Structure 1
Amino acid sequence: MLQIVPIKNRSQINELFTNYDPRTQSWLVSDLRTKFELQQKILARDGQYVDESVLRASDLWKLLLKRLEPRLRLVSDPFARSILRTILDENAEALGVNSSAEDTVFSYIDQLAPVLFSENGMGMLAEWFETHPESKNRWGEWAKRAYICSQFLIKQYNIITADWITAYLQSFNNLERVWDIPLIVDLSGEISRVEAEILHTLSRSIDVIVLEPTPTWSEEFKYLLKPYEDLRGKSNSIKSLQAVEPAAKIKEILRFSGMLAETKNSVGQVRKWLEAGVPAENIAVIAPDIEQYWPVLQSFLKEEGIPVQKDITHKVQSLPSATRWLATLRAKSGRLSSSDLEISFFDKHESQALRYEDFKALFKSLYVNEDLARNELIQKIYFEQIDLTGLVPRDEFVGKALSFWSSNDTEVVQIVLRELLQNATANTKLIWKEWLSYLESIVAAKEYSVEKGDGSGVLVTKLMSAYSEKARYRIFVGLTDESLKSRNKTQLSGTDYFDLSKDIGFYLDNPDQSDLAFELKLLAEADSAHDIYCFGGTDFSGTLCSPSTFWMGLNEGHAHEHLTLPLETRWDELQYSQETSNRSWIESRSSEIEYKIKQDLGKAELPLVQLKKLPNISASAIESYLECPFIFAAQRYFKLKDLPEVDLDIDHRTRGQLAHALFEKLTQETADTPMRFDWKPEEIEQILENARKEKGLLFADERLWMPLRKKHVLLAQRFLDFEKQWRQEYSRTKTLAREKRFEFYLDPKTGTLGKEPVENAFRISGSIDRVDSDQDGHLVLLDYKSSTGGISAHGSWLKNQELQLLFYMWVIEKSLIEDLNGEVIGLFYYIFRTFDRKGFRVNDLAGSLYPATRTKDKNATLEAKELYLQEFSKILMTTLDRIRQGEIRPQPVDTQSCNACEWRRQCRAPHLN
């Protein structure tokens, strides 16, 4: 017999509970927390209960399925999705989509399950499409795909998910044969039309009492409550309970700047209630999705020392051991990525042989397995890949996956594998990619318990599990429009849902009718002493949120735009504590923090670095220091590297290294042997091959080397032609040195120069690309450049901190290179793309090594050269003294250059903070 009991107020249920016999009846609830609380209530009254005394609706449906269709296995959504991807790939041609459409197809199965599993559901849907062509165009093909895939899952793979059970059970006519315990159904807004049909079928042989929520505003949720309307029409009787007048309560409606302010105020309010003598178990903090608040809320509550009923758990994927495990499996499976390679490699002992910067340069860009050969150590570790061909049985996958588990903590891997073994049978076979994808989904979803909740603590729960007779003081947080509305992942419109119910009788879950919003309004009318309703203008990431219509409608006269300041918490007290024992420390710490903030704002200077040893200096180091002292510090003190990445685009540094090595060989000559101009292409190719090996140049793809080598052969031939013509015109030219290295020591305090190491002196070294001579004691210094980018006219060298050629001239003029003496009369950047020479020359000495300037240049004189040397010497000594003192303040010459700086994340420059 089917009986309907209208419920206007949850307190009316107490009358029903008085006559409830847990030994002969089952009370059907929607969630685990409500089930537990009802069991405790029965235990307090009767001293005992049986397993069937209180059941979740989902447990009942699973039990019925097991008795009616034992061949079907209940599996998790992630496992069903893995099987679905396999089905989609195997039938991609017939279905018109592949595994990339898995999420969409799965959403349609979820949404259309009552139709898909109904005996003639698809036939009725096809007829309905004839009169609704627009809907057919939008989602008709997806409905067919969902039907085909659902049949594969049910009939071929014999699996089903929890959300599809009721839709599948509707096809059985003998449900009453497998269940004989009378039911009291208390599902509130969480009841579907299919579940209503099942309950009606069961009522043919047992008593079924359905508690129908009938608030005064039920017309607002007419579609959601349609199952109750159907049951009311089929019921044998309608029983009225004694009306209960709701008790008066305090109600507050608060608006906050964001979720963090909501959290702080909630914790502060809980503390106030506890101090006023309210028992912790009578207090509840409720949110539509409490997990969104829990990490922050738990930290605040822990600092206050407030016990909570909720278990403290962590995601398995948050554990480094699990992250490394998956990263290793992906890397071994050919799913190469720099992040996975980094995570799995730097956990190994061998990683100590490779600097992180080198690793990043080598493996930031990965394309195929062969890229692992860029480093011998990496290739050795990851050379053996997992065989990805064919179907892999469950036990074989588990065995291979476990072989890469490197942690001693076996509890975590047991949690993961237990889930896998529960869903997949021993004869389940999937391709390796699907097994790995399923394993990743388990690790992402599974949690492990860190600390059990306190049964007498504060109730912290989601909205759908929030009803509790004990919870008299309640705080509702997160009352935003976004959190109370479900998302529709299908193309069904609101009109489609209503037309389907009106035309063919299928009441699908309509996302426009939120059961969360319904439950919130129902809870608001439940008995309590003090309710607080909160809305935060932004979430924890700073995204703007819109208030829910429920929160807006709570109080017509409430100033909704008024922001409430959150109550203070224990953390606030710790920051502002005036206790004598802590005062001096807090003041000292506050002063330190204030000073660091001023440093970040540029209002206070950064401290000088205390140097244990003076760094090595080169021309480029001086330039980088003048460009920005922090760049110099990053390179010389912190030993950071900005190496070129091995990528499909060959970087300028690699091209430059090849060109320099090439020109060094081609310009070789001695007193007896002049420079050759008849190099054959084969000889030039061999020079390039040798240069590649010597410098250890790597390429993302070996096929990139051939066109690059060919390009440099052509460059060499053009270079030889130009040099031959140049030396015919300036016949006195002779190359004295190529890639000429030098090293000396300089004491910035005394200005003393020497070849031997001296305490408190800088070691200065460098290499000059090329030195030409006219054999009469005049020298020209050349620095190879691929283009004119970043090169200034010599009159702007000092202003723009382009000091490299001036540095080389200063070294030679100081006779710091023993076998290289003479007077420097020219400093040129040799642009080998156009074979132009740009720089400084002494016009009075032109003709033997270079031509005079076309226009009169007042700075092309020996006097100008001396001024250059004097100014450079001042800059050098001043810069070295700043370095010696440890000054590394981030003061870039041009702040625009910071946008491309490799170390901007570590920099404390005020304009970056």
Structure 2
Amino acid sequence: MLKTVLLNNRSQIKEIFQHYNPRVQSWLVSDLRTKFELQQKILQQDGQFIDESVLRASDLWKILLKRLDPKLRLVSDPFARSLLRTIMDENAEVLGVNSSAEDTVFAYIDEMAAIIFHPDGTSRLEEWFESHPEAKNRWKDWYLRARFCALKLLHDHRVITGDWITSYLQNFTDLEKVWQFPLIVDLGGEVSRVEAEILRTLSRSVDVTVIEPSPPWREDFHFLLKPYDDLRGHSQGKAETLAPSPAPQKSIQVLRFSGMLAEIKNTVGQVRTWLDSGIAAENIAIIAPDIETYWPVLQAFLKEEGIAAQKDVSHKVQSLPSVTRWLASLRSRSGRLSSSDLELSFYERDESQHIRYEDFRALFKSLYTTEDLSRNEIVSKVFNEQLDLRGVILREAFVAQALFYWTSASTDMVEVILRELLQNATANTALSWKEWLSYLESIVAAKEFSIEKGQSHGIMVTKLMSADSEKALHRIFLGLTDESLRSRSKTQLSGQDYFELAKDLGFYLDNPDQSDLDFELRLLSESPSKQDLFCFGATDLSGSLCSPSTFWMSLQGDHEHLSLPLETRWDEVQYSDLPGSRPSVQDRKEFIEKRIEQDAGRRELDPVQLLDLPRLSASALESFLECPFIFAAQRHFKLKDLPDIDLDVDHRTRGQLAHALFEVLTQEPMRYDWNSDELDKVLEKIRAEKKLLFADERLWLPLKRKHIQLGLRFLGIEKKWREEFKKTKTVGRETRFEFYLDPRTEEIHREPKENCFKISGQIDRIDSDGGNQLVLLDYKSSAGGISAHASWLKNHELQLLFYMWVLEKGLLENIQGEVLGVFYYVFKNFERKGFRIEDRAGLLYPAPKRKDKNATAEMKQQYLTEFSRLLMATMDRIRQGEIQPRPADFKICTTCEWRRQCRAPHLN
């Protein structure tokens, strides 16, 4: 017999519970937390209960399925998706799509399972399409694809998911024969049309009492509650109406916050206030439509505050390094190369200690095929055994291969993961390696492990659909946004389609416009409590904007006022480095303001405290003068930006090759008769010595040919130059220097000394006239960015001045003399641009075509004096820890590698 009881308010449940006998009746609920709470209530009343006393609706449907079709296997959504992808690829020609459309097809099966599995569903839908051509054009093909795949899963693979069970049970006419317990159905707004039909069928043999929520505003959700209308129409007699309960007297607050983090802070502060006022933790509830989005951050705040919660603290299995490395290793050996996977799987091995991380990243940031692994011999050896991905493999074969790459000593997690796989896949399940790995990844993504059990005496932290509780008298509702309360359909059914299908065919599919979360929220808001806080955060934790829900906007309150969150223990921790054990409110305010202003770039950063003075070079000095923050990023914070090995050969690699070639060709006595074959061998030797790598070996040949031609042109130019300046001899090639300098006393030392900077560098080339007259040359690939010598100091172009200063100070061990000229040697056109003393022209360089009044020995000394002054002042600023982002030219900020880390005002 079917009976309906109308419920105006959740508090009326007590009256029904008084007549409930758990020994002979089953109370049907929608969620696990409500089930556990009801079982505890029965224990307190009777001291015992049987398994069937309280059931989740999903548990009942599984029991019925097992009794009616025991050979049909219930599998998880991820495994069903793996099978679905295989079906779609095998039948791509028939379906017109392949596994890339799996997401859409699975969404249609989920949405339309009630029609797909109904004996007459497709034929009735075909007739409906004839009178609805627009809907037919929009989604008929997708429905047919979904039905084809769903029936393949059901009949060929004999599997079904939990969401499709009720739709499949429509096919059985003897449902009532496999269930004997009278039912009390308490499912709120979560009853579907198919479930209502199953309950009506069961009522033929057992008593079914349906508790129907019937608040005054039920017409706002008439589509969602339509299954109750059908049940009421088939019930015996008139629906029973319980005596109305008095309207609860409660305090309500409507709060608007800047974002989810502010919601969390205020929630924790409010809970602390309630606890301090003597309210029991069991009477406090934190509720959200999807509490899991809040829980990681909320749990950290509660822990810092010392507040216990009933909710378990769990972590995703994929957050474990051992599991992450395992999957990365399997992907890397499966041809699914990525730099992140390669890094994770390689850096757990002893061999990784022979490669610096920066070099590894430069080598493998760009990957195209498995051949790219040969860029490094060690990495290539580690990954030389790629898995055979051809054909399909059985479950045991995949498990055996996957376990071979598990390297952690602990096997607990891999057992949990593989147990899930073995429960869903049978021994004769055959899938491609790609699908097995994809399924394994989905298991890892979904699996959680508990690291701390919830405490029964703590506060309740739960999702909205499990929030009904007699104990929760002080409640905080978080995340009342439109995005969190409404589902988004992945199908092309319109709102009108849902209503037409219901009206014409009687199939009430889940309409995304009628949210069961929204319904449950309104129902809960009217249940008994003492204090309710309804919170809306304008942004989520990622910073995306959110829209307030219709329900939140309907509440009485100031919806425009932005509430400031209450303070928490973590706020106090942030002030811990302030002087004094209990900083005043003013001190804390000033501290926060300072940090915010520094982060926004409106206040200078505090100087960095140096334990050791950094090593300096000409390029380092130029970086500091270009912008102190660039220098700090490279020298203090040790950030690196190595060129990636990519299809486009970088400038650094080209420069290394040209410099090394010129070094060989300028060896005295200089030869001018090198041929192409000899240069070819030289370049091959340079490549091996410099360990130059390329994304594709085919890039090397054209680059080598280009440098052979460059070498021949270089020899021709040098021959002509030395025929004109016969005394020219190259006395320094890639000449290194190193010394120690005290910026306060300007003393120079050969050995390390306290409070001294280590100065080092390398001069590309030094030419001599055979005596003590010298010319410095610095190779450049192009003339771009080179200034006239009169602008070197102004533009902070210090490299040639720095080298000249080093030579004039006599800091090279084997080369001494007077510097007459310093030049950039542009090997694009082999021009020399720089500074020369015109009066000394003729021996090592020609006189300029136009007279330069600044090309004098006096100007040289002035340059050296100004450079020395700038050098000492710059080193003093570095020693004091200056790291302010003060670019010499704001144009450099557009291409700066460190702009994301910078706090310059114009970048914030």
Q: TM-score range by the shorter chain?
A: over 0.9
The answer to whether 1:217 aligns with 2:217 is: yes
Specify the alignment match of 1:301 in structure 2: 302
Structure 2 SS opposite 1:327:
helix
Rate the CA distance shift 1:320–1:591 in 2: closer, same or farther, 3 A.
farther
CA deviations 1:109-144 (Å, max 9, x no partner) are 101111111113222222222222222222222111
Specify the alignment match of 2:373 in structure 1: 372
Letter of the 1:72 partner, please give it: L
Q: In the alignment, which of 849, 853, 868 is matched to residue 854 of structure 1?
A: 849
Question: Which residues of 2 match residues 686-765 of structure 1 at below 5 A?
Answer: 686-727=681-722, 730-732=724-726, 734-737=728-731, 739-743=733-737, 745=739, 747-748=741-742, 751=746, 764-765=759-760
Specify the alignment match of 1:396 in structure 2: 397
- Counterpart CA distance in 2 for 1:821 and 1:278 is 86
Rate the CA distance shift 1:278–1:642 in 2: closer, same or farther, 3 A.
closer
Q: In the alignment, which of 760, 763, 766 is matched to residue 771 of structure 1?
A: 766
Letter of the 1:405 partner, please give it: W
Structure 1 SS opposite 2:648:
coil
Specify the alignment match of 1:803 in structure 2: 798
Letter of the 2:42 partner, please give it: I
- Counterpart CA distance in 1 for 2:754 and 2:283 is 74
- Contact in 1 for aligned 2:334/2:387 (Cα 8 Å): yes
CA deviations 1:391-410 (Å, max 9, x no partner) are 22222222332333333443
Specify the alignment match of 2:352 in structure 1: 351
Rate the CA distance shift 1:416–1:797 in 2: closer, same or farther, 3 A.
same
Structure 2 SS opposite 1:150:
helix
Rate the CA distance shift 1:714–1:296 in 2: closer, same or farther, 3 A.
same
- Contact in 1 for aligned 2:575/2:591 (Cα 8 Å): no
- Counterpart CA distance in 2 for 1:412 and 1:92 is 37
Specify the alignment match of 2:331 in structure 1: 330
The answer to whether 1:562 aligns with 2:561 is: yes
CA shift at 1:589, angstroms? 9.6
- Counterpart CA distance in 2 for 1:108 and 1:195 is 19
Structure 1 SS opposite 2:171:
coil
Specify the alignment match of 1:196 in structure 2: 196
Specify the alignment match of 2:651 in structure 1: 652
CA shift at 1:818, angstroms? 5.9
Please say which of residues 30-39 and 266-275 is displaced more in the overlay.
Answer: 266-275
Letter of the 1:248 partner, please give it: P
CA shift at 1:154, angstroms? 0.7
CA deviations 1:745-779 (Å, max 9, x no partner) are 35546655676777766654443323345567654
Rate the CA distance shift 1:718–1:144 in 2: closer, same or farther, 3 A.
farther
Rate the CA distance shift 1:623–1:259 in 2: closer, same or farther, 3 A.
closer
The answer to whether 1:121 aligns with 2:121 is: yes
CA shift at 1:571, angstroms? 4.7
CA shift at 1:510, angstroms? 0.4
Specify the alignment match of 1:503 in structure 2: 504
Rate the CA distance shift 1:727–1:485 in 2: closer, same or farther, 3 A.
same
Specify the alignment match of 1:866 in structure 2: 861
- Contact in 1 for aligned 2:728/2:844 (Cα 8 Å): no
The answer to whether 1:683 aligns with 2:678 is: yes
- Counterpart CA distance in 2 for 1:691 and 1:30 is 72
Specify the alignment match of 1:480 in structure 2: 481
- Contact in 2 for aligned 1:741/1:765 (Cα 8 Å): no
- Contact in 2 for aligned 1:253/1:551 (Cα 8 Å): no
- Counterpart CA distance in 2 for 1:605 and 1:35 is 56
CA shift at 1:231, angstroms? 1.9
- Counterpart CA distance in 2 for 1:238 and 1:489 is 40
Letter of the 2:145 partner, please give it: R
Specify the alignment match of 2:175 in structure 1: 175
Rate the CA distance shift 1:779–1:460 in 2: closer, same or farther, 3 A.
closer
- Counterpart CA distance in 2 for 1:19 and 1:273 is 35
Question: Which residues of 2 match residues 87-486 of structure 1 at below 5 A?
Answer: 87-257=87-257, 258-486=259-487
CA deviations 1:822-852 (Å, max 9, x no partner) are 5433322122122322222333444554443
Please say which of residues 874-883 and 367-376 is displaced more in the overlay.
Answer: 874-883
CA deviations 1:594-647 (Å, max 9, x no partner) are 8877876575674465555x6554433433343345545555566554422211
Rate the CA distance shift 1:722–1:135 in 2: closer, same or farther, 3 A.
farther
Structure 2 SS opposite 1:151:
helix
Rate the CA distance shift 1:519–1:839 in 2: closer, same or farther, 3 A.
same
- Counterpart CA distance in 1 for 2:124 and 2:715 is 84
CA shift at 1:592, angstroms? 8.3
Please say which of residues 81-90 and 316-325 is displaced more in the overlay.
Answer: 316-325
Rate the CA distance shift 1:204–1:752 in 2: closer, same or farther, 3 A.
closer
Please say which of residues 590-599 and 24-33 is displaced more in the overlay.
Answer: 590-599
Please say which of residues 763-772 and 382-391 is displaced more in the overlay.
Answer: 763-772
- Counterpart CA distance in 2 for 1:825 and 1:580 is 59
Q: In the alignment, which of 816, 841, 856 is matched to residue 836 of structure 2?
A: 841
- Counterpart CA distance in 1 for 2:716 and 2:223 is 87
Q: Which structure 1 segments of 5+ residues have no match? A: none
- Contact in 1 for aligned 2:605/2:883 (Cα 8 Å): no
- Contact in 1 for aligned 2:22/2:53 (Cα 8 Å): yes
CA shift at 1:362, angstroms? 1.4
Specify the alignment match of 1:582 in structure 2: 581
- Counterpart CA distance in 2 for 1:479 and 1:823 is 78
Rate the CA distance shift 1:239–1:137 in 2: closer, same or farther, 3 A.
closer
- Contact in 1 for aligned 2:668/2:729 (Cα 8 Å): yes
- Counterpart CA distance in 2 for 1:21 and 1:814 is 101
- Contact in 2 for aligned 1:317/1:443 (Cα 8 Å): yes
CA deviations 1:63-96 (Å, max 9, x no partner) are 1111111121101111111111111222222222
- Counterpart CA distance in 2 for 1:248 and 1:757 is 81
Letter of the 2:284 partner, please give it: I
CA shift at 1:493, angstroms? 0.8
- Counterpart CA distance in 2 for 1:576 and 1:758 is 39
Please say which of residues 589-598 and 399-408 is displaced more in the overlay.
Answer: 589-598
- Contact in 2 for aligned 1:744/1:756 (Cα 8 Å): no
Letter of the 1:620 partner, please give it: S
Letter of the 1:155 partner, please give it: H
- Contact in 2 for aligned 1:5/1:238 (Cα 8 Å): no
CA shift at 1:656, angstroms? 0.8
Letter of the 1:745 partner, please give it: F
Rate the CA distance shift 1:621–1:299 in 2: closer, same or farther, 3 A.
closer
Rate the CA distance shift 1:569–1:884 in 2: closer, same or farther, 3 A.
closer
Aligned-pair identity (%): 65
CA shift at 1:504, angstroms? 2.1
Structure 2 SS opposite 1:792:
coil
**Paired residues, number:** 904
The answer to whether 1:663 aligns with 2:662 is: yes
The answer to whether 1:785 aligns with 2:786 is: no
CA deviations 1:854-885 (Å, max 9, x no partner) are 33321123332232233233334444555566
Rate the CA distance shift 1:491–1:814 in 2: closer, same or farther, 3 A.
same
Letter of the 1:732 partner, please give it: K
Rate the CA distance shift 1:522–1:908 in 2: closer, same or farther, 3 A.
closer
CA shift at 1:732, angstroms? 2.9
Letter of the 2:553 partner, please give it: M
- Counterpart CA distance in 1 for 2:492 and 2:373 is 44
What RMSD in Å do the two structures reach over aligned CA positions?
3.1
Specify the alignment match of 2:544 in structure 1: 543
- Counterpart CA distance in 2 for 1:700 and 1:347 is 25
- Contact in 1 for aligned 2:575/2:583 (Cα 8 Å): no
CA shift at 1:658, angstroms? 1.2
Specify the alignment match of 1:35 in structure 2: 35
- Counterpart CA distance in 1 for 2:189 and 2:570 is 40
- Counterpart CA distance in 1 for 2:129 and 2:136 is 5
Letter of the 2:292 partner, please give it: E
Please say which of residues 485-494 and 445-454 is displaced more in the overlay.
Answer: 445-454
Structure 2 SS opposite 1:238:
coil
- Counterpart CA distance in 2 for 1:625 and 1:470 is 64
CA shift at 1:170, angstroms? 0.8
Specify the alignment match of 2:21 in structure 1: 21
Specify the alignment match of 1:830 in structure 2: 825
Structure 2 SS opposite 1:546:
coil
- Counterpart CA distance in 2 for 1:527 and 1:584 is 42
Letter of the 1:82 partner, please give it: S
